[in-house]
A and B are shown apart, each in its own frame.
Chain A
Amino acid sequence: MEILNQWAFIGIFAVMAPIFPALPILIAWVLRPSKPNVLKSQTYECGVETVGDTWVQFRVQYYIYGLVFLVFDVEMVLLFPWAVAYNRLDFFAFAAGLLFIFLLFDGLLYAWRKGVLVWR
């Protein structure tokens, strides 16, 4: 129960956390002037009228960054338990973690060689 009590704290905190910024926004909603007009509510692009759709196809480069990050993210998640257990591990178990990092490093080397991590 003690553990869940800690998480109950986090739960209440998570509900409260968006309320803190919502309060000033609500107060401002009461206080502020609101005189919208067509020109004012247009998309702001330095005064030029906006052309075409914003939500268009983007370049694949962003996707590659996202993907490489995802691979590293999963690796980090698997390494966290290893790092926590580090002091209790014998040398063999410890080396297993090193091998894990080495294998992932290969992937990074490949990405380097192919030049996909260079911003274009």
Chain B
Amino acid sequence: MDCPGLCEALVQGGANPGLAQFLSLFVGVVLVSGIPLVTVIVLILVERKVAARIQDRIGPNRVGPFGSLQTFADLLKLLTKEDITPTAADRLLYNAAPLVSFASVVLIWAVIPYTPYHFGADLEIGALYFVAVASLGTLAIMTAGWASNNKYALLGAFRVVALLVSYEIPLVFALMVPIMLAGTLNMLDIIYAQSSMWFVFMAPLAMLLFAISSQAETGRAPFDLIEAESELVAGFNIEYSGMKFGMFFAAEFMHVFTNAILLTIFFFGGWLGPLWNEPLIAFAWLGLKASLIYFVFLWVRNTVPRLRIDQVMRFNWFFLVPVSIGNLLLTALLLKLMQELGLAPRVLQTATLGEVLPMTLVLLLANLGIIALILGRLRTTGRSERLATGGGAGSMAVAAGD
């Protein structure tokens, strides 16, 4: 969003064209990044309220009506907290890590289309940009753990990084399916490709894989080894206090909502819905869908227990990775066959509902078939493991000693 109106107005007002261009871009950046920054303040309260309700508590209710000012109170508290830097730390990297961690999440929002007409940058490689920028966060965690010069922090960082890079593989393979269907990496075109049918109906398995691995990328339960209070004191951020810790915290909150938005864009049609031509309504659709997905993320986080690191890794390398590759292969094969037979349109952006319907049905049935197959197989292996070890706790021992 480079605010063309502002640029022209400035030039007419006598400003240097280059400067006017820069200023209009600058205003665009502030506007685009303002949305996630404001959202995260609301999200912290929402998260705490929802978690409280799931755990049969009330949650924050003292500061302001319904505790709505709680986040600001917490912010003030964090601002006045003493910030302790351990003497052994590598100061430069120690201070840089929270900044990079936060920036890696905010930067994703540069390519998110809020409405058909309002977006940061309309990049040809939008989806790849998201993957690339998100991988910066991993480096930030590594740097934080290393620079703290604390054994717990370093060990925590190593384990978390091993986990994050592992879950990036199914994430990207799942992301490859909507890209293949839409035939583009551009975020706007991916949304337009869903104008007659959302991708979630063509690739529900890819949607599940994307959701699971993005939950792992944010380090939320059941994958919250990033925190691991009971094992590694607090993981990689143990030596951080005050506002620097707050920044890691805020980055995590923002990352969850960012993933909800991305899931909406890739699988649930982004801002598509009745009357999406109106910018405000389109924005509302995007917000509504993302909020619902965000609620599901919170729900999972607050109901599923934490897994051990060996279980998490085994789940990834022996389940998610092969399933995501197999899903990509099968979807590609089926779709290409249908395209060759003339049953499926090659350009989804302009296809009508009638043209898309046969391929949707075939892909949906194939996906449901795989899901049923996987669930059946999981049941039999789970049963045999339980029988072999006699009891639920024992199945974990099998997982560890495989």
Where the two chains meet, the residues of A that have a C-beta atom closer than 8 Å to any C-beta of B are: 3, 5-10, 12-14, 16-18, 20-22, 24-25, 27-29, 31-36, 38, 40-46, 50, 54-55, 58, 62, 65-66, 69, 72-73, 76, 79-80, 83-89, 91, 94, 97-98, 101, 105, 108, 111-112, 117-120
With contacts A10-B123, A69-B169, A87-B183 taken as known, whether A44 is within 8 angstroms of B99 at the C-beta atoms is no
**Which residues of chain B have C-beta atoms less than 8 A from A33's C-beta?**
80, 82
Inter-chain residue pair count (beta carbon < 8 A): 215
Q: Min CB distance, B288 to chain A, in Å?
A: 26
Where the two chains meet, the residues of B that have a C-beta atom closer than 8 Å to any C-beta of A are: 1-2, 21-22, 25-26, 28-30, 32-33, 37, 75, 78-88, 98-100, 102-103, 106-107, 110, 120-124, 128-129, 146, 148-152, 154, 158, 161-162, 165-166, 168-169, 172-173, 176, 179-180, 183-185, 233, 238-239, 242-244, 246-247, 250-251, 309-310, 313-314, 317-318, 321-322, 325, 328-329, 332-333, 335-336, 339-340, 346-347, 402
**Which residues of chain A have C-beta atoms less than 8 A from B321's C-beta?**
72, 108
Instruction: Decide if A117 touches B318 in the complex (CB within 8 Å).
Output: yes
**Which residues of chain A have C-beta atoms less than 8 A from B340's C-beta?**
91
**Which residues of chain B have C-beta atoms less than 8 A from A50's C-beta?**
88, 150-151
Most B Cβ at <10 Å: residue of A3, A8, A18, A31: A18
**Which residues of chain B have C-beta atoms less than 8 A from A76's C-beta?**
169, 172-173, 176
Give the residue name and chain of the A residue nearest to B308 (CB).
Answer: A119
With contacts A9-B121, A21-B247, A80-B176 taken as known, whether A69 is within 8 angstroms of B83 at the C-beta atoms is no
**Which residues of chain A have C-beta atoms less than 8 A from B107's C-beta?**
10, 13-14, 17
12 intermolecular pairs with C-beta atoms under 8 Å apart: A8-B21, A8-B25, A12-B25, A14-B107, A16-B33, A21-B251, A32-B81, A43-B239, A69-B168, A80-B185, A86-B183, A86-B336
Bound-complex Cα distance A58 to B84 (A): 27
Bound-complex Cα distance A87 to B351 (A): 13
Q: Min CB distance, B268 to chain A, in Å?
A: 20
Instruction: Decide if B82 touches A43 in the complex (CB within 8 Å).
Output: no
Instruction: Decide if B242 touches A21 in the complex (CB within 8 Å).
Output: no
Instruction: Decide if A119 touches B154 in the complex (CB within 8 Å).
Output: no
Give the residue name and chain of the B residue nearest to A77 (CB).
Answer: B128
Instruction: Decide if B33 touches A119 in the complex (CB within 8 Å).
Output: no
Bound-complex Cα distance A119 to B310 (A): 5
**Which residues of chain A have C-beta atoms less than 8 A from B154's C-beta?**
54-55
Give the residue name and chain of the A residue nearest to B122 (CB).
Answer: A6
Other contacts beyond A9-B29, A80-B128, A118-B310: 12, CB < 8 A: A13-B106, A16-B33, A25-B98, A32-B80, A35-B82, A38-B87, A41-B84, A44-B152, A44-B238, A69-B166, A76-B176, A120-B310
Closest CB pairs A-B (n = 4): A17-B103, A21-B102, A119-B310, A28-B243
Among A5, A9, A79, A91, contact of B110 (Cβ-Cβ < 8 Å): A9
Label chain B's interface by main secondary structure: helix
Bound-complex Cα distance A9 to B27 (A): 10
With contacts A45-B150, A80-B185, A83-B179 taken as known, whether A29 is within 8 angstroms of B83 at the C-beta atoms is yes
Give the residue name and chain of the B residue nearest to A59 (CB).
Answer: B158
Instruction: Decide if A83 touches B99 in the complex (CB within 8 Å).
Output: no
Among B86, B166, B172, contact of A65 (Cβ-Cβ < 8 Å): B166
Bound-complex Cα distance A85 to B88 (A): 52
Q: Min CB distance, B118 to chain A, in Å?
A: 13
Q: Min CB distance, A101 to chain B, in Å?
A: 6
With contacts A87-B339, A101-B328 taken as known, whether A31 is within 8 angstroms of B79 at the C-beta atoms is yes
Among A18, A27, A94, A112, contact of B103 (Cβ-Cβ < 8 Å): A18
Give the residue name and chain of the B residue nearest to A33 (CB).
Answer: B82
Instruction: Decide if A13 touches B313 in the complex (CB within 8 Å).
Output: no
Q: Min CB distance, A27 to chain B, in Å?
A: 6
Among A24, A80, A98, contact of B246 (Cβ-Cβ < 8 Å): A24
Bound-complex Cα distance A97 to B243 (A): 48
With contacts A25-B98, A43-B239, A62-B158 taken as known, whether A83 is within 8 angstroms of B2 at the C-beta atoms is no
Instruction: Decide if A10 touches B121 in the complex (CB within 8 Å).
Output: yes
Q: Min CB distance, A15 to chain B, in Å?
A: 9
With contacts A18-B99, A18-B100, A101-B325 taken as known, whether A44 is within 8 angstroms of B80 at the C-beta atoms is no
Give the residue name and chain of the B residue nearest to A63 (CB).
Answer: B162
Q: Min CB distance, A2 to chain B, in Å?
A: 9
**Which residues of chain A have C-beta atoms less than 8 A from B88's C-beta?**
42-43, 50, 54
With contacts A6-B122, A98-B329, A108-B321 taken as known, whether A65 is within 8 angstroms of B162 at the C-beta atoms is yes
Q: Min CB distance, A20 to chain B, in Å?
A: 6
Instruction: Decide if A42 touches B149 in the complex (CB within 8 Å).
Output: no
**Which residues of chain B have C-beta atoms less than 8 A from A119's C-beta?**
309-310, 313-314
Among A9, A20, A41, A86, contact of B37 (Cβ-Cβ < 8 Å): A20
**Which residues of chain B have C-beta atoms less than 8 A from A41's C-beta?**
84-87
Bound-complex Cα distance A91 to B78 (A): 59
